Structure 1
């Protein structure tokens, strides 16, 4: 039962705080991506803050576009981990060896721009919406669940970087969202903000925040800086790089479709129709085009973290997320404010991941209530898709890791660039490497593996529509 539905408009002050909560919820994952990109590019320290601000600025623009004209669901747009493997392939390619960070960024922008045009075409042509007829609860359940489990490898490990602060943050989230929320409206609406605030204040009070480093970061950041197209130079284009980037787009699209279903369910909205899905993917393509032109080094996609926040706060208002988008734009232009939040302890981010992504996994599994779980056919497909969605990425990430990728980052943190047993680089040059990148990016993405396997098996193995849960979904779906 949601407190505010998708079309509700809470009071302005309350909406501002709820929107700011969405900003904080997406902050942890969003700030990681530009930091990783900056490290891979070799960006100077003073430029990294600008890249972080650019990421938030673009995320705000894309969130407003999506919620106003796109799928119109209360869903936040931001950077995606799906684009990191192809990003590494481009940055560390032989073609760019010896190039400066500006040149590498320009080629990244070019690849993102070309990929965005493909995503726009797929969305607005209705091709993605057409796939909806082949998607049912049996496909969506393991896909969404694996979106929720995507960061299992860093949730608890990050929390354990400071068990004292991380433990307080996680305990506060549980107490605020599951106990105090039943009695006090404040804790019902703002459990994430209050959990972060509680743990962070204690971290400052006990000297667990590096205040000197934080002060230096703030001093190095400008008060106001508006990101603009071409700020890193004009985008450069190379066909092989663009094809490799399409692997990231494929994983992102599959994840986004699952996010739409999860978000609609969290917000108490009908099952998304083909037109809504197509429009959403089309506007995600427009968002990626904006990201490519301005230069985030990454695309944009729907954010699972904020769907988890909807589940915990039970606020599914589109208006609130639009306010959050405005907050992102304003704070993305206010450099010192964003710099301040770079001092957020990793342990607190890990605690939020544990709570929010666990909620996403549960929402995914809740779709199985529409399926006949006494049918061995359904049990086989669900279990097989789920297992392979865990096993195949483990194989991909554990087997063929390039030594230079992920160096200096926590183990299990980055989706590594991996290669097939054949030496594609030597035998077929960058084109072969591109093919390997496409295949292995899919293999290393659990939700993509589960979605493909679940969709294929659910549509080729005989079963009644009622048993598959499709009959109920059709009743609940919005009219086309």
Structure 2
């Protein structure tokens, strides 16, 4: 793919910024469910195929190869976004979702959670000092804090992850600065220290992404169709992801 830490940081910051804005819009004006909007892992396969395309491997300059790759990804995502808009306006997904009964959604919700198991828990096991406090703090904020601190809006239920991540990040920075990992193994330092990846030093203090920040998007039919197939898979993930918090909210309202 090319590019150094600065280019990778811009991609990560753009993804986090858009995820945060989407989450705020969904929780305040949209479905108002306690769920985090983020990129789907279903897009990993078509994006990987774009990154490893032969036409980009011949570019010698890493920075230029990175820009060309991001432009191709942008173009495919634009076509995919238009595809989802058309499906929404024509009611195609609504007609499909009518046939999804609770019996069919139960395994869908289960597999959507189990599909993230190999990503979450192995990462937690690589750095228990940070991963375990993250889980504990998030559970405390979402499940126990609302019983002690009353808000007019369900802030803890909706934004539990957004509240817990900065707390744990500061805790990780404190452990790194205090020298806890100085004499640990290389694998532990890479997983736990906040200064090993080079992303923190390369990241700006304030970053607001702009449209087409990597240049004009490029379009290719094969890449666009592959991305649209991934978007269709992500629709089922979103449906399953919305079903679980909606059932949770329903059970909470029944207890009130």
SS of equivalent to 1:78: coil
Matching of residue 77 in structure 1 with residue 37 in structure 2? yes
Please, which of 227, 232, 240 is the counterpart of residue 250 of structure 1? 232
SS of equivalent to 2:58: coil
Shift of 1:218: 3.7
1:227-258: CA deviations, max 9, x gaps?
11121010001111101111210111111111
1:258-290: CA deviations, max 9, x gaps?
122112112228xxxxxxxxxxxxxxxxxxxxx
* Residue matched to 1:193: 164
* Residue matched to 1:48: 8
* Residue matched to 1:220: 202
Q: Map 1:392-403 onto structure 2 (within 5 A).
A: none
Distance 1:213 1:141, change over 3 A: same
* Residue matched to 2:250: 268
* Residue matched to 1:234: 216
Please, which runs of 5 or more residues in structure 2 have no aligned partner? 60-64, 150-154, 182-191
Distance 1:53 1:135, change over 3 A: same
* Residue matched to 1:138: 103
Q: Distance in 1 between matches of 2:116 and 2:243?
A: 20
CA RMSD of aligned residues (A): 3.6
Shift of 1:116: 0.9
Q: Map 1:53-202 onto structure 2 (within 5 A).
A: 53-67=13-27, 70-99=30-59, 100-163=65-128, 165=129, 168-169=132-133, 172-173=136-137, 176=140, 181=144, 185=148, 189=156, 193=164, 196=168, 200=172
TM-score by length of 1: 0.41
Worse overlay, 188-197 or 225-234: 188-197
Q: Is the 8 A contact 2:34 2:245 kept in 1?
A: yes
* Residue matched to 1:465: none
In the comparison of the two structures, how many residue pairs are matched?
228
1:283-332: CA deviations, max 9, x gaps?
xxxxxxxxxxxxxxxxxxxxxxxxxxxxxxx7x9xxxxxxxxxxxxxxxx
Q: Is the 8 A contact 2:134 2:168 kept in 1?
A: no
Distance 1:211 1:102, change over 3 A: closer
Distance 1:96 1:226, change over 3 A: same
1:141-198: CA deviations, max 9, x gaps?
01001111112223332222134x15752784598479x9399726x95697298379
Distance 1:200 1:184, change over 3 A: farther
Please, which runs of 5 or more residues in structure 1 have no aligned partner? 1-40, 270-313, 317-480
Shift of 1:68: 5.3
Distance 1:212 1:68, change over 3 A: closer
Q: Distance in 1 between matches of 2:95 and 2:50?
A: 32
1:36-90: CA deviations, max 9, x gaps?
xxxxx22221222222221122223333444455445444322121101011112
SS of equivalent to 2:98: helix
Distance 1:171 1:212, change over 3 A: closer
